[in-house]
């Protein structure tokens, strides 16, 4: 009778250990998923901010040099490209940034000669 009882205790212990192990694997999997999601959200935010900053830089460069047409640069791991297209009475400024899988592109249309509060030559 004692061996049968010991056998049941071992089976119950194994079942409990299996449940605890399965729960631990599930938590580890969720942790990896949440970490990946946080990295993706952060990269998207960094790409958006880099594109916005690039647009501000493009606006400043165009104010300092009306013939400026664009360039690209790298900030950390983020590649940023900025450029300007001239229309008859306006400029279109573009900024595009890429960080890993994150990508952001922004555009601003400015009337010709619009200063936006930055005097030419200030720096």
Judge whether 117 lies within some domain: no
The encoded tokens of residue 45 equal 């935010």
Find the mean pLDDT for residues 86-104: 93
Could you tell me if residue 78 is inside a domain? yes
> 6-25: per-residue pLDDT in tens?
788 888 988 898 889 989 88
End-to-end CA distance of the chain: 91
Structural domains in the chain (count): 1
The confidence score (pLDDT) of residue 122 equals 33
Residue 23 · residue 15 · CB < 8 Å? no
pTM above 0.85, yes or no: no
Which domain, by its residues, includes 38? Answer: 2-111
Residue 80 contacts residue 97 (beta carbons within 8 Å): yes
């Amino acid at each position: 009778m004692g061996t049968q009882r010991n056998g049941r205790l071992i089976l119950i212990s194994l079942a409990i250990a299996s449940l605890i192990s399965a729960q631990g694997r599930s938590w580890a999997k969720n942790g990896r998923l949440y970490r990946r999601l946080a990295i993706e959200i952060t990269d998207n935010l960094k790409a958006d901010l880099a594109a916005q900053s690039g647009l501000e830089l493009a606006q400043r460069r165009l104010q300092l040099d009306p013939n400026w047409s664009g360039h690209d640069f790298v900030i950390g791991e983020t590649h940023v490209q900025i450029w300007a297209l001239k229309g008859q009475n306006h400029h279109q400024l573009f900024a595009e940034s890429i960080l890993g899988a994150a990508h952001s592109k922004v555009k601003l249309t400015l009337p010709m000669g619009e200063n936006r509060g930055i005097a030419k030559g200030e720096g």
